[in-house]
Amino acid sequence: MKITDVQFKKFCIELAEPFKVAFTEVTHSVSILLKIETDEGYTGYGEAAPFAPVTGENAEGCLAVLEVFRQGLIGLNPLDIEKIHVMMDNLVHGNGSAKCAVDIALHDLKGKVMNQPLYRVLGGYQDTVQNDITIGINAPEKMAALAEDYVKNKGYRILKIKTGIDPEEDLRALSLIRQAIGPDIRLRVDANQGYNINSALYALEGMKKYGVEAVEQCLPDWDLEGASYLRKKVNGIQLMLDESIHTTKDAARACRLEAADIFNIKLMKCGGLYRGAQISTLAENFGITCMVGCMMETKIAITAGLSLVASRKNITEADCDSFLYYKDADTGMPGGFERNGDMFRLSDKPGLGLEIEF
Residues 6+ apart with CB under 8 A from 237: 204, 207, 208, 212, 213, 214, 215
Query: Is 190 one of the catalytic residues?
Result: yes
Q: Decide the pairing of beta strands 343-346 and 337-340.
A: antiparallel
Query: Which runs of consecutive H residues, i.e. helices, occur in the chain?
Result: 52-55, 59-73, 81-91, 96-114, 118-122, 140-154, 167-181, 197-207, 224-233, 248-257, 267-270, 273-285, 299-311
Alpha carbon distance 9, 120 (integer Å) = 29
Identity at 297, one-letter amino acid code: E
| Set 242, 317, 319, 321: catalytic member | 242
Query: Is 266 one of the catalytic residues?
Result: yes
Residue (of 192, 173, 152) closest to 342 by Cα position: 152
| Set 35, 99, 160, 162: catalytic member | 162
Identity at 331, one-letter amino acid code: T
| Set 266, 297, 321, 342: catalytic member | 266
The β-bridge partners of 37 are 5, 43
Query: Is 17 one of the catalytic residues?
Result: no
Are residues 242 and 190 in contact, defined by beta-carbon separation less than 8 angstroms? Answer: yes
Alpha carbon distance 331, 346 (integer Å) = 17
Are residues 305 and 112 in contact, defined by beta-carbon separation less than 8 angstroms? Answer: no
| Set 47, 103, 216, 317: catalytic member | 216
Alpha carbon distance 349, 120 (integer Å) = 11
| Set 47, 190, 317, 321: catalytic member | 190
Alpha carbon distance 240, 198 (integer Å) = 18
Residue (of 82, 125, 122) closest to 102 by Cα position: 82
Active site (catalytic) residues = 162, 190, 216, 242, 266
